[in-house]
Structures are given as structure tokens and as C-alpha cells.
Amino acid sequence: MASTTVEPRRPSTAPAQRRGVVGWFDPRGRRLGGLAFIVNRLSGLGLVLYLYMHLMILSLLVQGPGAWDTFVDIALSPPVLVFDVVLLVGMLIHGLNGIRVGLVGLGLVASRQKALFIAAMVISAFVAFVGALRIFGGE
Amino acid sequence: MTTQQEAAERPAAGSRAIPAFVGQVLSGVVLLVLLTLHMIAQHFIVPTGLRYYEDVIAWLRNPVVIAVEVTFLVFVTYHAITGVRAVLFDFGFSERTERRLTAVFWVVGIGTVVYGVALLAAILNAA
């Protein structure tokens, strides 16, 4: 007689687990949480790139005041300050969304993750706005 | 019930990825404090937003600043490396490849911290 054993149905997995990194951009079955997942990883990768760029730029200090002070003058020009705002936004989104990921991942307040994500984004937007005013010299 | 979102953002129970995930969360918490300190000390209390050379050197002569910045470098490197590792592991490599990649990441991480500390020493020596 043929076996009637039925393999238990595997729990559904997220797009990222189904299709590797390409799955991050798979919109199927995605809701706000899926967007939060993508945002967290992309902002994290951007910040890693910035970390190594930052270390390279700091090496200008070894060359003395001429090289460093020239860089500071360029870095303080308005077009470059835009990148400071982008960096600030990236840090805020990754940091605050990271708190949500940590809390949900450790099994805490999992039922509130959507509200936490919205709160993280609202706080990020507010602090980024205040930071941008500060960066561009406003009061 | 585990939602798709939770499944994506945390390793399954018993997974080998759990220690790395916990390390990522803990280093993230430490970074929130250190990054806030770094941003305030290095940018927000500086009138121009960035220090010119003489001010940078004077700032780095403070041993507390050196201690905080090196600690920051260690944690940010750990967090960055384990983060990129987690992203790469989403490609679904074999266990053997994952072990090799982990070894590569250890080398890159230690190399980054050594480079950063050597850079600090070189900056102070050159001044």
C-alpha cells in the first residue's frame, strides 16, 4: 500500500529567503514590513560604503594641514553638504529601523512592528529636517 | 504566528545564524550610543561642522577621545562586517562557502581596525 504520509507543509518564507538578494525586490506578498526589510539592508550597505570612504578621507590628515584644510573647505560647500544630509537620513533610518528589527527579532513587541516602523520613519524625517537646517546653517 | 516579515528579519530557531544576529543587535545598540556621541562631538558642537587641521590634532591629543573613537571603530566594523555577511548569505551558499566567507570577513574586519588604529597613530606622529 502506498504511503499516506504527507510531508508537513513548510511555513511560508519571505521573498528574500525564497530568491536570495533578488528576492528583496520581489513585490509579491510584500507589505510595509517587506519595505522595512529592504530599506534596512540598502541603508546598511550604503553606510558600509561610507565607512570605508570615510577612513580613506581621514588619511588626508597624515598629509598635513594643506591637504586636510582644502578638503574641509570643499566638504563645507553647499553641493557637498547635500551628501551630509543624505548620510544623516541613512544613519537615522538604519539606526531607528534597526531598533525595530532588534525588538522584533528578539521576539519583543512583534505585534507592533508596523507602528514601530512608521514611528521610526516619522522620527527620522523630523530629526533629518532639523539636522538639515543645522547643516545648512539655519536656526 | 510568525509572519513573513519576522521570518525575513530573524534567523529560525536553532539556526547557526542566531549568534551573529544577536551580535548584530547588541553591537547596534552600542553603536546608537557611540554614533550619537561621535556626531555631537565631531560635528554638532563644532561651529563650522568640521574641524580644521589644528583643531583635529588638538582634539585627538585627548586620550578619552582616542579611547571612544577606537571603541567606535571596533563596533562599527563588527556591525558592518556581520551585516554584509548576512546580506551575502542570502545568496544561499553552501556551508563550506559560508565558512570561507566568514574567514575572509574576519580578515577584512581585523584589517579595518588595524588600519584605523595605525591611521590614528600616523596622524598624531605626523603632527
Residues shown for chain B: 127
Q: What's the pLDDT score for residue B11?
A: 65
Lowest model confidence (mean pLDDT) among A65-69, B10-14, B63-67: B10-14
pLDDT at A28 over 90: no
**In-domain check, residue B14:** no
**In-domain check, residue B55:** yes
Inform me whether the C-beta atom of residue B104 falls under 8 Å from chain A C-beta atoms: no
Q: What's the pLDDT score for residue A60?
A: 95
**In-domain check, residue A45:** yes
Q: What is the pTM of this model?
A: 0.81
Q: pLDDT band for position A4 (50/70/90)?
A: very low
Q: Which residue of B has its CA nearest to A109?
A: B6
Q: What is the CATH number of the domain that holds B120?
A: 1.20.1300
Q: What's the pLDDT score for residue A134?
A: 86
**In-domain check, residue A6:** no
> Which residues on chain B are in Cβ contact (under 8 Å) with A99?
28, 32
**In-domain check, residue A41:** yes
Average pLDDT over residues A46-69: 95
**In-domain check, residue B35:** yes
Q: What's the pLDDT score for residue A27?
A: 59
Q: pLDDT band for position A19 (50/70/90)?
A: low
In this predicted model, which residue has the larger pLDDT, A125 or A2? A125
Please tell me which of the candidates A13, A72, A104 has its beta carbon nearest to residue B52.
A72
Domain count, chain B: 1
Inform me whether the C-beta atom of residue B49 falls under 8 Å from chain A C-beta atoms: yes
Q: How many CB pairs under 8 A join A and B?
A: 126
DSSP states along A71-138: HHHHHTSHHHHHHHHHHHHHHHHHHHHHHHHHHHHTTSSGGGHHHHHHHHHHHHHHHHHHHHHHHTT-
Q: What's the pLDDT score for residue B13?
A: 62
Cβ-defined contact of A69 to B25 (cutoff 8 Å): no
In chain A, what percentage of residues exceed pLDDT 70? 77
A72/A79 Cα distance (integer angstroms)? 13
| 3-state secondary structure string across B58-87 | HHHCCHHHHHHHHHHHHHHHHHHHHHHHHH
Please tell me which of the candidates A45, A59, A68 has its beta carbon nearest to residue B53.
A68
**In-domain check, residue B12:** no
Mean of the per-residue pLDDT values of chain A: 81
Q: What is the CATH number of the domain that holds A53?
A: 1.20.1300
**In-domain check, residue B3:** no
Cβ-defined contact of B32 to A99 (cutoff 8 Å): yes
Inform me whether the C-beta atom of residue A33 falls under 8 Å from chain B C-beta atoms: yes
Range of the domain at B91: 19-126
**In-domain check, residue A126:** yes
> Which residues on chain B are in Cβ contact (under 8 Å) with A50?
none
Closest by Cα among A11, A28, B13 to B21: B13
**In-domain check, residue A25:** no
Inform me whether the C-beta atom of residue A69 falls under 8 Å from chain B C-beta atoms: yes
Average pLDDT over residues B78-107: 92
Amino acid letter, residue A95? G
In this predicted model, which residue has the larger pLDDT, B126 or B43? B126
Average pLDDT over residues A85-89: 94
Domain count, chain A: 1
Burial B48-69 (b: 16+ CB within 10 A, else e): ebbbebeebbeebeeeeebeeb
**In-domain check, residue B4:** no
Q: What's the pLDDT score for residue A93?
A: 94
Range of the domain at A36: 32-135
**In-domain check, residue A77:** yes
pLDDT at B48 over 90: no
**What's the pLDDT tens digit per position in A31-44?**
777 788 888 899 99
Give every CB contact of residue B88 below 8 A, 6+ residues apart in sequence: B101
